[in-house]
Amino acid sequence: MVDMTADTDQNDAGELRTADGQPLKSSLARAQRRARTRAAILVAPLLLFVLITFVVPIGQMLFRSIHNDGFTMHTSISDGVKTPIMVNLRDWFDDNPRGTEPDEAAYEALVMDLRLLRELRAPGQVGTRINYEHSGSRSLFTKTARRADRLEAPFKEAVLDVDEDWAEPELWSAMRTASNPYTLSFYLAAVDMTTTPEGDIVSVDENRQIYINLFIRTLWLSALITGLCFLLGFPVAHLLAILPMRTSNLLMILVLLPFWTSLLVRTTSWMVLLQSQGVVNDVMVAMGIIGDDGRIQMMYNQIGTIVAMTHILLPFMILPMYSVMRTIPPSYARAARSLGATSWTTFRRIYFPQTIPGIAAGSMLVFILAVGYYITPALVGGSDGQLISNLIAFHMQNSLNWSLAAALAALLLFGVLILYWLYDRLVGIDNMKLG
């Protein structure tokens, strides 16, 4: 019999010990702590990167969507010191309930605050903040602030002599809302709602409703593009899955080729193809399909957006489906046919159900990318093919209404999260296969 020496010993009390005499339980605990520490150190750079580049910007966006202190605080450009502004008017709003008609005291508070704004050179800042909710306010504030030192009692009459627009209830309602830096008014504006001077939440005028229709168009076009990518990508993925590996890898290069080309180049290429005097129209005219005077307008409308985005997003649908189809054993289909099933029955009941995880993953990926697409709709979409992302960019770059842009982006984010939740409830995130 061979004598074997164990690494652990057992004392009289029955406690297991390691070869160096340490209790096995405490030794295992120390080993697990060291393993967790090493894992935390290895993951820390990636976690820090995600926090800085993903979590923090999203948190700032959500905060910006409910916070705007342009009416309450002025930040000095030289030293960055914040100075409270519009203090007197805010006190009047605090002492008087919503719906109260502005009296002499309200106009006196307004004049006192305008004089401070003139000293700080900040009437444009306050006017811009109110202009987000009541157009024309910037010029109104700057014009009145220039004359604030010459305005004397009775202040109401003096202010109205400068401009009668100061008597508008909607203007005072906007100033009351802006007097609190924390507000949900930007979310209301993002869904075409507003607050009346009495405090009721109502829809804006039909002619001014923009965002709801744009959200609907974004979701509709994204769903349509996802469906087209599925119809075009399913046969390609199936072909790649059933071909020999050598041929399949060669054809896969054609699928991956768009990733090696700049998105801007691909988009501008479609502009060349789809314009009225472009290649597609020229070919149809040459073939006699349409006349030279009947060229089809495929640019700066929804057609251009759908065609270009379908082409750009198609690989994101093909790759997940291919990764799932490649793992389906061909013997399943042969067994079904040997038992008398037709080709259609075999596809419908055997093959297609096994591809659903890949279809769901590709559809989710394409849809989420489509709802946030910006460059392609901006270049080929025109006014009819614009998506909500284009309006978010407009408010960030042109109107400088960052709070409204953040509210629109937050609603888009919430919509995507709801989509994830529905997918998890109906299909299950664990069943998603991206590769």
In this predicted structure, what is the pLDDT of residue 290?
86
In this predicted structure, what is the pLDDT of residue 7?
46
In order of 51, 52, 274, 340, the CA distances from 42 in angstroms are: 15, 17, 50, 56
In this predicted structure, what is the pLDDT of residue 3?
45
Query: In three state form, how does the secondary structure of the chain look?
Result: CCCCCCCCEECCCCCEECCCCCEHHHHHHHHHHHHHHHHHHHHHHHHHHHHHHHHHHHHHHHHHHHECCCCCEEECCCCCCEEECCHHHHHHHHHCCCCCCCCHHHHHHHHHHHHHHHHHCCHHHHHHHHHCCCCCHHHHHHHHHHCHHHCCCCHHHHHHHHCHHHHCHHHHHHHHHHCCCECCHHHHHHCCEEECCCCCEEECCHHHCCHHHHHHHHHHHHHHHHHHHHHHHHHHHHHHHHCCHHHHHHHHHHHHHHHHCCHHHHHHHHHHHHCCCCHHHHHHHHCCCCCHHHCCCCCCCHHHHHHHHHHHHHHHHHHHHHHHHCCCCHHHHHHHHHCCCCHHHHHHHHHHHHHHHHHHHHHHHHHHHHHCCCHHHHHHHCCCCCCHHHHHHHHHHCCCCHHHHHHHHHHHHHHHHHHHHHHHHHCCHHHCCCC
- Burial of 399 by CB count in 10 Å (0-12 exposed, 13-18 middle, 19+ buried)? middle
pLDDT along the chain (435 residues), means of 10: 45 63 79 89 91 91 94 84 93 92 95 95 93 92 94 93 94 94 94 89 88 92 95 94 88 86 87 87 88 85 91 93 90 87 88 89 91 87 85 90 94 89 75 55
In this predicted structure, what is the pLDDT of residue 5?
44
**Residue 97 contacts residue 197 (beta carbons within 8 Å):** no
Domains and CATH numbers, the chain: 9-66 (no CATH), 73-208 (no CATH), 211-431 (1.10.3720.10)
